[in-house]
Amino acid sequence: MTNNSTSPAARLAPPLGGFQEIDGRQVFVHRSGGGGPAVVFLPGASAVGLDYFGVQEEVAQFTTAVVYDRGGTGYSDPLPLPRPATEVATELRDLLRAQQLPAPYVLVAHSLGGLYAHRFAQLYPQDVAGLVLLDAFHHDWDDFMPPEASLAAVEGMAPDREQMERMRPALREMRAELYAAYPEHIRQALIEAKSTDEWTDSGIAERTQLPDLATELRAGPRIPDVPVIALTVVGTDPALQALTSERTLREMNEGKTKMDAALVNAVSHGEQRVITDTTHHRLCFDRPDAVAQAINDVVHLSTRT
């Protein structure tokens, strides 16, 4: 478990948005747009709320859009990581209530955020209007994946601190390209913040104990019968190509496709959309159109069901 012990006084100042006090801690939040149901983005590991700023701005054209940083990550106050999914879900509900955003919400969950969104839906089904899953983790992941791509194996594939240090120049260059369309003050702030030791360490820490998170969710109920759209990304990822075989990559894509299909088939209004022209980490940057369209569709479905 990582302590992530940066003091609040040393916390980086976000380029926009502000803070909400939750249990004596400061949690970063930025909201735009208006109307409902409010759309809430749950970042993946190593991602922060403002990574979804581009999509947030599109969503704000038709409803309220909210990005935030989980406690212990991004601009929010530090906490020991990783955290149980129940703790993360409770924090999010407290944040949305403190922001006086009326339920129910459309949760948009990317990667690791999928596990936290699932737990939120288990604990507070009445607060969920719909789900948009962006190549998201699922508690039944291991049932669909080859052993080489189990949650424990995926955790082991993630780079450690030493590897991240070697990758830092390349990562900085990649982020500059990903944020190219962002306003300059947001772009530069994110590039600098993501180069800090604190943000690097929190990203590494959140990617640990994934099997424990899955176990926590499997003990809970099914998600409520709300509209769900799953975007399943099967584009070729050079980073994964360097870590595993072509056969394992093929089986992973097949497994993700079957996993998301089973999930959307378990609800009355579910749909899977397979995305072939981008990769897991680049989805919201390369295909904001596909992401915003899925959100818009779930928002409309949620008001009719």
Following DSSP, what letter does each residue of 191-252 receive, concatenated? HHHTTSHHHHHHHHHHTS-HHHHHHHHHTS-PPPS--EEEEEE-S--HHHHTTS-HHHHHHH
Token reading at 129:
């209007």
| 1 assigned to some structural domain | no
User: What's the pLDDT score for residue 10?
Assistant: 52
User: Quick check: 192 pLDDT over 50?
Assistant: yes
Q: How confident is the model at residue 12 (pLDDT cuts 50, 70, 90)?
A: confident
Q: What average pLDDT is seen over the chain?
A: 92
CA dihedral 85, 87, 93, 96 (to 10 degrees): -100
User: Quick check: 5 pLDDT over 60?
Assistant: no
Amino acid at 198: E
Question: What distance in Å separates the CA atoms of residue 196 and residue 191, rounded to the nearest whole number?
Answer: 9
Q: What is the pTM assigned to this prediction?
A: 0.93
User: What's the pLDDT score for residue 297?
Assistant: 98
CATH of the domain at 286: 3.40.50.1820
User: Quick check: 2 pLDDT over 50?
Assistant: no
| 291 assigned to some structural domain | yes
Residue identified by tokens 């759309």 is: 39
User: Quick check: 64 pLDDT over 90?
Assistant: yes
For the residues 108-134, what does the mean pLDDT come to? 98
* Number of neighbours of residue 274 by Cβ within 10 angstroms: 15
Taking CA atoms, 298 is separated from 13, 97, 114, 133, in Å, by 33, 22, 16, 11
- The boundaries of the domain holding residue 275 are 8-304
Q: Would the CA dihedral through 141, 143, 146, 151 be positive or negative?
A: positive
User: What's the pLDDT score for residue 4?
Assistant: 43
Residue identified by tokens 């989980």 is: 70
* Domain total in the chain: 1
Q: Determine what percent of the chain is predicted with pLDDT higher than 70.
A: 94
For the residues 209-219, what does the mean pLDDT come to? 96
| The pairing of beta strand 65-68 with beta strand 25-32 | antiparallel
For the residues 273-291, what does the mean pLDDT come to? 96
For the residues 61-76, what does the mean pLDDT come to? 97
pLDDT digit string, tens, across residues 172-187: 999 999 999 999 999 9
Tell me which H or E stretch contains 18: strand 18-22
User: Quick check: 154 pLDDT over 70?
Assistant: yes
Burial tier of 57 (Cβ tally within 10 Å: 0-12, 13-18, 19+): middle
Cβ–Cβ under 8 Å, residues 267 and 298: no
Q: How confident is the model at residue 7 (pLDDT cuts 50, 70, 90)?
A: very low
| 56 assigned to some structural domain | yes
For the residues 80-106, what does the mean pLDDT come to? 97
User: Quick check: 6 pLDDT over 80?
Assistant: no
Would you mind telling me the total number of residues written for the chain in this entry?
Answer: 305
User: Quick check: 263 pLDDT over 90?
Assistant: yes
User: What's the pLDDT score for residue 118?
Assistant: 98
User: Quick check: 158 pLDDT over 60?
Assistant: yes
For the residues 11-38, what does the mean pLDDT come to? 95
Question: Where is pLDDT greater, at 160 or 191?
Answer: 191
* Number of neighbours of residue 64 by Cβ within 10 angstroms: 21
| 2 assigned to some structural domain | no
Burial tier of 93 (Cβ tally within 10 Å: 0-12, 13-18, 19+): middle
Q: How confident is the model at residue 305 (pLDDT cuts 50, 70, 90)?
A: low
